[in-house]
Structure 1
């Protein structure tokens, strides 16, 4: 076990040394160095699996210490693996940004570019349609307001007419049956007016909800 332990520890130190060269390696060679590091790290993990088996077979008085030494090596190599992946992620991000920047700089923009004129035309048409819809909504709301005002005026007129009819009936001494008929008709007219107001409100609500 001691021989394999020292061999693995030496490999970890070599990987640590190579990791320090990543930042200064040119773009053409960095892929090769990354691959070499990954191969070395995989080999270290393989050795650690063997070391864990050997540590479990150590005598009881040495087993705990052997496991601690293997765990330390495992921690070191896991740290190196994470560092390599972080470097690769940063490199991928930089290369992607460089490509996007080059594509943006190499693109030629013109004022008559069809790709830009079509969305502009569509936007103008959409704005025109929205303005027309808003004007239609304003007209509809104005009409609804006028209808409600008219219904309120009619209600006031009906109440006044009802009162006058009762006064006239009292003066003429009409029968109770005629009086009840007059009151029934007034009640019906009241319900019709309320129903018309509610229907108008529902229509206005639906228009605002689905066309607003």
Structure 2
């Protein structure tokens, strides 16, 4: 599964900021719905969308955490490290707020169900009310299960992409080393050829010197006679 908003570190960072803004707005709307009445109003679709956005932000943080480490300049690397950490911390804070909302909603559902059971024991007419709450509780549980499955799928996709990226980096490093070795071998061959040529020249100079020496000695012997 591809990570939404893939691209440069700056592009991924801007996408994560937009998602943070949308998630904060969604949480505010969810809380307004929750406190709009005494019993609270739930919106499974909205809470599911918020959960999905938070998972996406966390996935982008994983990708950014990999990318900022490859920034060449230390000052820029430190700056991006702080930016990514801030996004990750805000995503964790939003996730914590959403989890608290789920807990409050679950508590309201349990209290409402208990009240309905008490009323049922009193007048025997609460079966319909209990069925409504049971159906709503099942819908909420289904939304939570779907949200967890989506989050696991995102994290699995990010892990796969990270592995592919690491393998690609290793292949690039191996390719650079191979090119360096080839360049070194090419240079060594050139040096060996120069040495061989020099050795041949020295050998001919030695032979020529020996011949000249023999000729000089032979001439001196004849002259002394």
Q: TM-score, normalised by structure 2?
A: 0.46
* Larger-gyration structure (1/2): 1
Structure having greater relative contact order (Cα 8 Å, sep ≥ 6) = 2
